[in-house]
Amino acid sequence: MSALAYVNGTITPLAEARLPLLDRGVFFGDGVYDTLFSINGRLHAPERHFRRLAHSLHETGIGAISIEEIESALAELSGRCEHRDVDFYIQVTRGVQPARAHTWKEEPRPTLIITAQERHDLPAEHYARGVTLFSHTDLRWGRCDIKSVNLLPNVMARQKAAAAGGYDALLVRDGHVTEGSGSSVLIVEEGVLVAPPLSYEILPSITREIVLELAREAGVPVRLERRTLEQYIQADEAMVLSTKVGVLPVRAIDSVELPTERPLIERLRALYQETVQALAE
């Protein structure tokens, strides 16, 4: 038994976990989530992930649960894991109602779900060769800063990219690139690291936050500006960032190959990996 789930205080093997049908997460996607990982039993950047989860909870008004409660459930689940390198998925829904209804009179008790699965690195080849992205219209809602479980537009875009052999979709809204369907995507232009400014259009990615800090500390110029799809395709370097994969080079966008020399990505990836490696020591 390796993968585990915690649902409102009950820990079971992941495949046996159950949720009541009347949970608002089922009917309305009324919930938020976050993901983080541990190496050697130690969490990577937990304070950043819990700060973002608190933002998602606050902005959706899912109030009757505290971050302390979530942290202690995570610690309990982590203590039951047989693995030390673990991907955790935390979801909080608004809870279970007596019948399906959009509104509620009394706020239900939120449902807390945490899953734990052994963490595996992507094959080294992905990092050496880079991955491909396919552009897609950004069909998401107006509050992408909230890590909502409503992921239908993300799923549709990513499935299309995957069917074409890509790693992720590169989302484009009103002529500018926002992010990937499950990742941030940054580019390098003449030695400058370029990222879209934080806004309601993108998720405040924790990996991006860390990489931008590391870049600034290393004296790399950073520009927070929007860019068109054409500018992404013409970039000197492009990288996908996420908790799941860290810093992953992009080889091609819409079948156009990017340069194979990636000096800044290699530097930033090494700096980021140091923050992960520090947990193992």
Known catalytic residues are 147
CA 157 – CA 181 distance, rounded (Å): 7
CB of 118 to ligand PLP, least distance (A): 18
Between 97 and 208, whose beta carbon lies closer to ligand PLP?
208
CA 3 – CA 281 distance, rounded (Å): 25
Binding mask 125-164 toward ligand PLP (x if CB under 6 A, else -) reads ----------------------------------------
CB-based contacts of 275: which residues, under 8 Å, 6+ apart? 44, 45, 210, 214
- Give phi and psi for 87, each to the nearest 5: -95, 125
Between 44 and 97, whose beta carbon lies closer to ligand PLP?
44
CA 12 – CA 174 distance, rounded (Å): 45
CA 53 – CA 146 distance, rounded (Å): 9
Between 81 and 169, whose beta carbon lies closer to ligand PLP?
169
CB of 22 to ligand PLP, least distance (A): 27
- Give phi and psi for 60, each to the nearest 5: -95, -5
* Of positions 24, 183, 194, 220, contacts ligand PLP by CB under 6 A: 183
Q: Which among 178, 194, 176, 204 is positioned nearest to 237, based on CA atoms?
A: 194
Task: Determine if 206 is a binding residue for ligand PLP (CB under 6 A).
Answer: yes
Interface positions, 217-276, toward ligand PLP (CB under 6 A): 241-243
* Of positions 170, 205, 249, 262, contacts ligand PLP by CB under 6 A: 205
CB of 131 to ligand PLP, least distance (A): 14
CB of 272 to ligand PLP, least distance (A): 11
* Of positions 207, 215, 249, 264, contacts ligand PLP by CB under 6 A: 207
Interface positions, 184-203, toward ligand PLP (CB under 6 A): 184, 203
CB of 35 to ligand PLP, least distance (A): 6
Under a CB-based contact definition with an 8 Å cutoff, are residues 184 and 241 in contact?
yes
Task: Determine if 25 is a binding residue for ligand PLP (CB under 6 A).
Answer: no
Tokens of 110: 């939120």
CA 206 – CA 45 distance, rounded (Å): 8
Stretch that binds ligand PLP, among 55-63, 159-167, 176-184, 271-279 (CB under 6 A): 176-184
CB-based contacts of 111: which residues, under 8 Å, 6+ apart? 7, 8, 19, 23, 25, 31, 91, 92, 93, 94, 95, 96
Please report which helix (H) or strand (E) contains residue 278, including its range: helix 263-280
Q: Is 144 in a helix, a strand, or coil?
A: coil
Which residues are at the interface with ligand PLP (CB under 6 A)? Answer: 179, 182-184, 203, 205-208, 241-243
